Structure 1
Amino acid sequence: MSLQTSTRAPEEYRSLIDNLRDFIDQEVIPREDLKAVHDGDALRRVANELHALALTRGLGAPRARPEDGGLALSWTECCAYLEQAGRSFLGPLALRCGPPTQPDIFALESLATPAQRERYLQPLVRGERASCFAMTEPAPGVGSDPRMLSTSAQRTSDGWVINGHKWFISGAMRADFAIVVARSEVGPSWFIVDMDNPGFQIVRDIPTMEPFDIGGHAEILLKDCHVKADALVGEEGKGLAHAQLRLEGARLFHCMRFIGLASRAMSIAQEYALKRESQGVQLADHQMVQSMIADAHIQLYAARQIVLDVARRLDTGDSIRHHSSMAKVFVSEAVYQVADSAVQICGALGISEDTPVSMILRMLRPFRIYDGASEVHRSAIARRALNYRLPA
């Protein structure tokens, strides 16, 4: 995004984080209804109410401009902000910093034409419209290997005709428009497609293990889907480079939010360990439990430091492709292990839905797949480390 590093004074920033922490504790977490985790309409209503309340507190989207209701935080400042927001399932929704909206905004800030900014980006930033990013396809289409992209875009006299099959498109069930990745004669390209386009069909909402998922994960068919010439986003044939731009910020925001969610799970487990007795002593006095708690805090500390380092690199304008991959792999696995330990400490209560712990575990597990599976990132990290060059 076209933002400079924030110049907030340290005391002003600490006050902002304290305000946010209090907002999440006092307003957001109490509004979580564990029985309504799959009720998208109810969650949207609550998120909108919380967003209005957040604005009265001077809280908003961390990277958006102040004139759009945002805070214009630097990437470094986002670390603590997003961790606090992420402690609640509803926090990122209330603060307009959840996926896919946030990474779509990040990409469109750099790529959108003036007309696209007015029609799509600005309403997206203001929360008046919702977006989704349609890239993943069923086999044999694109998954982890971008070279397998099969959705096509054929040029016409006044635009493009798109044909293809997409699935697991996060947020599509509530989106107003999609950023569709399709292959033109030049190469992979991006196109904005309104959801009411006659050639754009949502087949179904694919159920997943995640609770509090208000946007769903849609399966989509594009059949003779005609869009105007001005639907092209960025440069034709540069779709994979555009996707990398989008993913770098998205991975980091995921990491920040999920550190907050994992830390909340461990906090719940620690409170339980201090109350529950086992074999005549508090659960917290057992060395095996202490070991799990200690390892969790080590993992959270390491996760925060690696994310902070990547955020600083972003603020200085460095390329973070290599470092964001390492951060994504480490953090996705660390936060899941922390949540898994929290479940183990809580025992049977941990696998129930009487507390949010089991839901936190289910929220964190897909991150090892989303935005690139850990195995794919490890391969890319190793190849770059070995200075290996992929064939054209």
Structure 2
Amino acid sequence: MIDFEIPAELAAERDRVRQFVIDRIVPFERDPRLTQHGPTDELRQELVELARAENLLTVQAPVELGGRGLTHAEQAVLYEAAGWSTLGPVAMNCAAPDEGNMYLLSKIANPRQVDQFLAPVIAGHQRSVFAMTEPDGAGSDPAQLCTEATFDGENFVLNGRKWLITGANGAKTWIIMARLAPNPHLPEGPTLFLTEGGTPGIVIERTMNTMDRNYVAGHGVVRFENLTLPREALLGAAGQALRYAQLRLAPARLTHCMRWLGAAERAQSIAVAHAKTRTAFGKPIGEHQGVSFLLADNEIALHQCRLTIWHACWLMDRGEKARHESSIAKAFVSEELFKVADRCVQVLGGIGISDETVVEMIFRDMRAFRLYDGPTEVHKYAIGRKILR
């Protein structure tokens, strides 16, 4: 039997999260520390302390690491509430890339690495990055990885260049993907490494100017120049990075969808309020069929997106990998929510393209969401291959 009822305790916590975001976080959307390159780390730390005081920090972490050990379905409910403001997930420490990195590290890091690299991120004291994407190599196809690591039996030496590395400036926990060259000691191939930010050999060239501004410190261009790491820097098994990346990406696709669903709801609420009060041609614009249809299409899309997310979460909570279903969710939800944001801009008219409301920012960020964790076309390609097999 399919049950769509949200347990009373979870519903109460959802409402508490939403009210916390409205009362304590939304006012920071006008803070000058929310810059073109996203929130500054100073702003992040202030928001984190607000969530900590309300016992809402990193609720998704495993119980043994201080979190509540939420199921995927429970995350869907609470992340949607947090996403009412793009700063909500930042405050609650469930924003990308940290949320996905915490999930990955909790699965494959050894106890020493957990203590040194994961625990401080869960506590909100430091940020993390996942350095994979390259200007001329790995991206939608991680198999094109160009960054190389050599190994002499004691130390790894990494050389290469990455870009679109979210949160690179100031991050302390670095997960780096590089292709391990043939050697007599370990299996070759794509491999993950774990090190501290500021390690000699990590060169942050610049922060890129991008259309989105919801990620702390924006997106960086990074160069590795003879980055020398000890054997203990190996994360997981050598040559297994692509498998680990999939372990991280399936749930991360869904958490993106959860958070942005909340932002799209916010945009819809602003558009509805405007449609009730703005008049044209003798009546509120919401009473004109053209506008009411836009809002109705949004409501339909929000409902469909929520159900798509919940279904994939249900499968994962049953122990299934749900790669196919998470690809469906990412492709469908990212496209539909962008349409929701676009229709909200249209309903708002002139103020929709201004910063008089947050809808303009949500619209730009939502456009970028269509590319996060794989563009729609890559997911459709994977979906097509599965149904044709």
Per the TM superposition, whether the score is higher than 0.5 is: yes
> Contact 1:274–1:284 (CA<8 Å) still a contact in 2?
yes
Using the TM superposition, give the Cα deviation of residue 364 of structure 1 relative to its aligned residue in structure 2, in angstroms: 0.7
Structure 2 vs 1, CA of residues 171 and 41 (structure 1 numbering), >3 Å: closer, same or farther? closer
Alignment partner of 1:147 out of 143, 168, 176: 143
Cα distance between partner residues in 2 of 1:195 and 1:14: 39
Tell me which of 299, 302, 306 is aligned to 1:300.
Answer: 302
Amino acid in structure 1 at the alignment position of 2:362: I
Match of 1:320 among 308, 322, 327: 322
- The one-letter amino acid of 1:231's match is A
CA distance 1:44–1:114, shift in 2 (3 Å): same
CA separation in 1, counterparts of 2:108 and 2:251? 14
Aligned CA-pair RMSD: 1.7
CA distance in 2, matches of 1:173, 1:199: 15
Find out whether 1:115 has 2:104 as its counterpart.
no
Task: Give the corresponding residue for 2:27.
Answer: 30
Contact 1:343–1:358 (CA under 8 A) maintained in structure 2:
yes
Select 1:348's aligned residue among 347, 350, 365.
350
Residue 342 of structure 1 aligns with an amino acid whose one-letter code is C
How far the C-alpha of 1:39 sits from its partner, in A, is 6.8
Q: Taking structure 1 as reference, are residues 86 and 318 closer, same or farther at Cα in structure 2, changes over 3 Å only?
A: same
Once the two structures are superposed, what CA deviation does each residue of 1:284-314 show, in whole Å capped at 9, x if it has no partner? 0110111110110111100000100111111
Q: Which amino acid aligns with 1:102?
A: E
Residue 161 in 1 paired to residue 163 in 2?
no
Paired residues of 2:21 and 2:84 also in contact (CA < 8 A): yes
**Alignment correspondent of 1:52:** 49
Corresponding position of 1:93: 90
Question: Deviation per CA, 1:175-229, whole angstroms, max 9, x where unpaired?
Answer: 1132111011321000113222211100100110112432211101111111000
Structure 1: where are the runs of 5+ without partners?
1-8, 388-392
How does 1:145-224 map onto structure 2 within 5 Å? 145-184=141-180, 185=182, 186-224=188-226
> 2: CA distance between counterparts of 1:46 and 1:351?
26
Query: Which residue of structure 2 aligns with residue 386 of structure 1?
Result: 388
Tell me the alpha carbon deviations over residues 84-112 of structure 1, each in whole angstroms, 9 at most, x when there is no partner.
10111210011010011110010011110
CA distance in 1 between partners of 2:64 and 2:90 (Å):
19
CA distance in 2, matches of 1:293, 1:69: 41
Question: Could you say which residue in structure 2 is the equivalent of 1:237?
Answer: 239
Say which is worse superposed, 206-215 or 174-183, in terms of deviation: 206-215
Instruction: State yes or no: 1:362 paired with 2:346.
Output: no
Moved more, 211-220 or 274-283: 211-220
Structure 2: tracts of 5 or more residues without a match: 1-5, 183-187
Q: Which TM-score applies when normalising by structure 2?
A: 0.93
Deviations 1:141-160 (A, max 9, x none): 11211221111111123121
| Bigger mean CA offset, 242-251 vs 63-72 | 63-72
Structure-1 residue corresponding to 2:270: 268
Which stretch of the first structure deviates more once superposed, 24-33 or 280-289?
24-33
Q: Deviations over 1:312-346 (max 9, x none)?
A: 11111101111111100000001100000000000
- In 2: Cα distance, 1:382 partner to 1:55 partner: 44
Shift of 1:46: 3.7
Contact 2:47 2:91 in 1 (8 A): yes
Q: Residues of 1 paired with 2:252 and 2:343: CA distance?
A: 26
Q: Is the 8 A contact 1:170 1:216 kept in 2?
A: yes
Following the alignment from structure 1 to structure 2, what is the Cα–Cα distance between the partners of residues 166 and 314?
Answer: 31
What CA distance in whole angstroms lies between the structure 1 residues aligned with 2:80 and 2:377? 25
What's 2:127 paired with? 130
Identity of aligned residues (%): 39
Say if 1:326 and 1:286 are closer, same or farther in 2 by CA, change over 3 A. Answer: same
How far is the alpha carbon of 1:50 from its aligned partner?
3.2
Counterpart-to-counterpart distance in 2, 1:42 and 1:215: 6
- CA, structure 1 residues 339+39, in 2 after alignment: closer, same or farther (shift >3 Å)? closer
- State the distance in 1 between where 2:31 and 2:260 align: 18
Counterpart-to-counterpart distance in 1, 2:39 and 2:224 = 29
The amino acid of 1:194's aligned partner reads: E
Q: Name the aligned partner's letter for residue 83 of structure 1.
A: E
Contact 2:175 2:192 in 1 (8 A): yes
Q: Match of 1:283?
A: 285
1:79 — aligned with what? Answer: 76
C-alpha distance after superposition, 1:45-65 (max 9, x if no partner): 343333323233332223114
Kept in 1: contact 2:15–2:81 (CA 8 A):
no
Contact 1:60 1:69 in 2 (8 A): no
Taking a change above 3 Å as real, the CA distance of residues 279 and 34 of structure 1, as seen in their structure-2 partners, is: farther
Output the CA distance in 1 between the equivalents of 2:99 and 2:382. 25
Q: Distance in 2 between matches of 1:335 and 1:42?
A: 23
Q: Given residue 55 of structure 2, which amino acid in structure 1 is its aligned partner?
A: G
Distance in 1, Cα, partners of 2:40 & 2:141: 34
CA drift of 1:30 comes to: 2.0
1:10: how far off? 2.4
CA contact (8 A) 1:120 1:129 kept: no
Give the deviation of 1:66 after TM superposition. 4.7
Judged with a 3 Å threshold, the aligned counterparts in structure 2 of structure 1 residues 341 and 42 are, in CA distance, closer, same or farther, namely closer
In structure 2, the CA distance between the partners of 1:133 and 1:42, relative to structure 1 (3 Å rule), is closer
